[in-house]
Structure 1
Amino acid sequence: MQFKLFTVPTSDDGAAIEEMNKFLRSHKILEVEQQLVSTRTGSQWHFCVKYLANAQIENKPQNAVRIDYKEVLDEKAFAVFSLLREIRKKIAGEDSLPVYAVFTNEELAGIAVLSEITVESIKEVNGVGDKKAERFGKRLVDHYNQTQTEG
């Protein structure tokens, strides 16, 4: 683990911020700590960046194929998939996470085609292990079952 310090004056014209952002984009960042420091001569933001040295940033291939799940799934499974996406969004919001950290679209499609959606059955879906099923699966199943009893 390495550290790099950045100082950005509050009156910065954008150059110091761009230098820091360029560094952040090109390194595997572990943590960023920030603090506003005020002196008689002005205020500055101080950033301490913890990063991995020599770590390669994995860039998504520009020619990655997007899957249209409406074409891949049958009508019933797509309806379940759409509902699961709404539930995933709610869970992600509750935990302040990006939706893909809860379940990916591919995982949701796998869940949507299950004959029965339970915490145990979703563990069979590629990419969903015990920890993910434990952390998010119960809430997903509970929300899903609740919508099934309402409708």
Structure 2
Amino acid sequence: MKLQFFAIPAIAPDQAQTEFNRFVASHRVARVEKELITDGAASFWSVCVTWIDGEAGAAPMSPPLRRGKEIDYRETLPPAEFAVFDRLRQLRKQIAEVEGLKVYNIFTNEQLAAIVQQRVTTAAALGRLDGVGEGRVTRYGESVLAVMREVVSTLAVPPVAAAAP
């Protein structure tokens, strides 16, 4: 995976926003992290895009298949990671049925993919994921972490992402 960084001004963002949109439309995006940096008229959005490059010797990868705004993780994740992701989805479905909740109230697909991609095996690491607060870690974390601890040794070490200029 590779990283691309963008600074999008809060005032008059058009040019930077167009560049950002062009980039994400033409790359296989795995994750987008953003933060508003407040500095009066110089405020801007700091955006980090994690994107997937084709594997060495392989043909370039096509963009992920989308149904609406959803990412098809079968296309985005390597097969071994997708198998773990699918196992976590099944666990999430079981928890949701028992608790009478929607599955996304447990963890979103994006959060499950991040758990797999980042090889999360501790409550602290789980709590650092975007949108995962202490309540989710306390209520659902141990069952998810148990799966991850069981399978993490079977997953290849994720490649170190190179920072883009």
Q: TM-score with structure 2 length normalisation?
A: 0.46
Higher RCO (CA < 8 A, seq sep 6+): 2
Larger Rg: 1
Q: TM-score with structure 1 length normalisation?
A: 0.50
